[in-house]
Structure 1
Amino acid sequence: MSSILSSTPSLYVVATPLGNLSDITLRALEVLRRVDLVAAEDTRHTQRLLDAHGIRVPTMAAHEHNEQGAAARICERLAEGQHVALVSDAGTPAVSDPGGRIVGAVQAAGHPVVPVPGPSAVIAAASVCGLPDGPFLFQGFLPPKSAARRTALESLRDVPARLVFYEAPHRVLETVDDFLAILGADRELVVCRELTKLFEQICRMPLGEARAWFEADANRVRGEFVLVVSAPTPPEGIPADAERILALLLDELPLKTAASLAAGITGLGRKPLYQRALELRGDD
């Protein structure tokens, strides 16, 4: 897009700094200067950002408690030919922040939605966690109650990817305890605290040592957290469930047929299943 604003009235989803006001992009500043209205999660917080960069533009509240009404007002402005920016308090709107319903409503009304990318706590944490490369799964905030949180973690336990979570200071110790109970002591935890802020801290440790690390300094439970958990160690050999399937098939079918069917059922390679079938049959 060559010009700052589209020729068509649009909603601009603008990423703003996590903490350091200098982290805003040049494009984001130009968009905020030129739009007719900024819809903000907290207008007072956003006004400080605008003031810091000498930007004078009207603002309106658009938070989780008024998203439906805010979406209607934004659609009205767009229909009148105005451009609107959407911002959250920090980072990228609609990523574990208000904004998703507004974006959906604007799209449903037929208006363009334009991303203005920039700071994102999940991407910042993934880039500095130091864990092995590979996929990561961003869960956002886990449920506030321990029972529901543990249920959610059980569904994520065997996902072959790094797990990334946001957490609040008043729950971080309980969440770490649940990590330990469900994910085990050997997986690694990277604590990213107060990213881009004055007291930024990034520390890596086994989950079994995490509570002691937090308790060693009361300041470590303050601030906003991104928690990154290492991926599970791949199991050696054939998983127990796959071996049970193979054994049942071997009771009824020839060895090669059983191995081929087991591969189709489990998604594992035929060769290791065939080799394991030979072992189970006692053949060389």
Structure 2
Amino acid sequence: MQSEPGKTLLRWAYAAVAWLAVSFVWHVQMGVMYEDTMDPDDGTPVWLFLSYDALIVLMSVVGVVCVLATVKPWGRRAPYWLVRAPLWIGCAVLTMRGVPGLVENVTTATGLTPHGLLGMEKEAVDTGSWDFWKTMVINGYFFLGATLLVPATVLSRRSRRTAKTTRTVDPARPARTPLDQAEHHALIPYPATGRRTRATEAAAARGAALADRAEPAQEAEQGSSAEDRHEARRRAMADLRVRLDRGREERADIPNRTVEGRTVHHRDGGR
């Protein structure tokens, strides 16, 4: 089950993908019907218009892939910078394109800046014309893209940090009790040379210390009285000592068996 931050990231990411999909379709249509889209009085060369339109189409496709990579399992295999860099570039472009233009349209429509935000228009802008409202719709669409892509990018970064700092626990794998851990550490074999090392001695000591720690569930099963719990711990420690002594005896026999094997080998070679 996903956490609340994960669900929030999914909502913002899918909303940004929907915006990018509309942008893709919009600019593909503009490229196909460039004769109707281009202003004949603008004087912009056709190749420049089509190149710009193709760039927007390509950026929309890359944006969809990068946003989906932040919420899909296959995105974890992609390099971090390969996903993050296009997203932050897209956030910067949409913010610089949509925010100033929409602010200027709003202030012009409300009469605060009738000659434009910078006052560069010689005459007051006709707020009732189709061109003015078409420009406001376009700027509003870019502003909407910024408000969707920026949160998706920021949340994906926080989600990645959380995933790094959170330890994943497998619920299907039962946890070890202190007695199981003690037995595990106590039976760690020494190297084949038969020499004791600090690591193996420390592991055995940790195992003995862990045996003194009884789980609440084990205490409930072993008895409720202090005498029963003390007797259970005493039996556990006695069993652990037996296992430790047996392991030390087996490890002590390793050098003897090795020497005997070499002696027999030399004798066979001498024959």
TM-score (norm: length of structure 2): 0.22
Bigger Rg, which one: 2
Q: Which one has the bigger strand percentage?
A: 1
So what's the TM-score if we normalise by structure 1?
Answer: 0.22
